Amino acid sequence: MPVLRQDESYLIGTAQAIKALGKKDKAYVLVVSDSHGDYDRFYALLEAYGSKLDALIFCGDGSFDLVGIIEAMANESPDSPLPDKILPPVIAFVRGNGDAESYSYTYKGKNEVIIAPQAQNLTICGKKIFVAHGHKYSVDFGLDYAVEIAEKLGLDYFFYGHTHIPREKKLKNTWFVNPGSCSRPRGGFPPTCALLKLYKDEKEAACHFYEIKENRFGNVDLKPMKI
50-100 pLDDT, tens per residue? 999 999 999 999 999 999 999 999 888 888 888 888 999 999 999 999 999
Question: Rounded to an integer, what distance in angstroms lies between the CA atom of residue 183 and that of residue 185?
Answer: 6
Nearest CA among 120, 137, 138 for reference residue 129: 120
pLDDT at 1 over 60: no
- The fold for domain 15-225 equals Purple Acid Phosphatase; chain A, domain 2 (3.60.21)
DSSP 71: H
Dihedral sign, Cα of residue 158, residue 58, residue 134, residue 178: positive
Q: In 10 A of CB 79, how many CB atoms?
A: 6
- Please answer whether residues 174 and 157 qualify as being in contact, where contact means their C-beta atoms are separated by less than 8 angstroms: yes
Rg (CA), the chain: 16
Question: Rounded to an integer, what distance in angstroms lies between the CA atom of residue 66 and that of residue 62?
Answer: 7
pLDDT of residue 84: 86
User: Is residue 222 classed as helix, strand or coil in its secondary structure?
Assistant: strand
Question: Rounded to an integer, what distance in angstroms lies between the CA atom of residue 217 and that of residue 221?
Answer: 10
Does pTM top 0.85 for this prediction? yes
Q: Which residues contact 141 (CB under 8 A, 6 or more apart)?
A: none
| 98 or 216: which leads in pLDDT | 98
| H or E stretch at 151 | helix 144-153
Residues 24-31, mean pLDDT to the nearest whole number: 98
User: Is residue 122 classed as helix, strand or coil in its secondary structure?
Assistant: strand
Question: Rounded to an integer, what distance in angstroms lies between the CA atom of residue 119 and that of residue 81?
Answer: 31
- Domain limits, the chain: 15-225
| H or E stretch at 117 | none
Per the DSSP assignment, residues forming a β-bridge with 225 are: 209
DSSP 68: H
**β-strands 110-115, 127-132: how paired?**
unpaired
Residues 168-174, mean pLDDT to the nearest whole number: 97
pLDDT at 165 over 70: yes
